[in-house]
Amino acid sequence: MKIMKYSTRKKLFGFCLVLPWVVGFAVFLVYPLSQTILYSFSSVTITPHGTRTEPVGLKNYTDVLFTDPDFTLGIPTYLQQMVFMVPMVVVFSLLFALLLNSHIRGQRVYRAIFFLPVVLISGPILEKVRDVGATELPGAGDFFVFEFINTQVPPLLAAPIQYIVQNIVLIFWFSGVQVLIFLSGLQKVDRSLYEASMVDGASAWQQFWKITIPMVRPFILLIAVYTVVDISMSSLSPFIAVIEEGMFAPSQGFGFSSAASWLYFLLILAALAVAFLVFGRREKDILKQKEKALRKRRRRLARQQKRAARRYKIRG
**Mean pLDDT in order along the chain per 10 residues (316 residues):** 73 87 88 87 78 83 86 87 87 86 73 68 63 62 67 72 76 81 83 78 81 83 89 84 82 84 91 85 58 74 77 62
CB-based burial label for 98 (10 Å; 0-12, 13-18, 19+): middle
pLDDT number for residue 145: 65
Specify the pTM. 0.74
Report the SS3 class of residue 72. Answer: helix
Hey, which residues does 53 pair with through a beta bridge?
44
Q: Which residues in 294-308 are b (16+ Cβ under 10 Å) and which e?
A: eeeeeeeeeeeeeee
pLDDT number for residue 264: 92
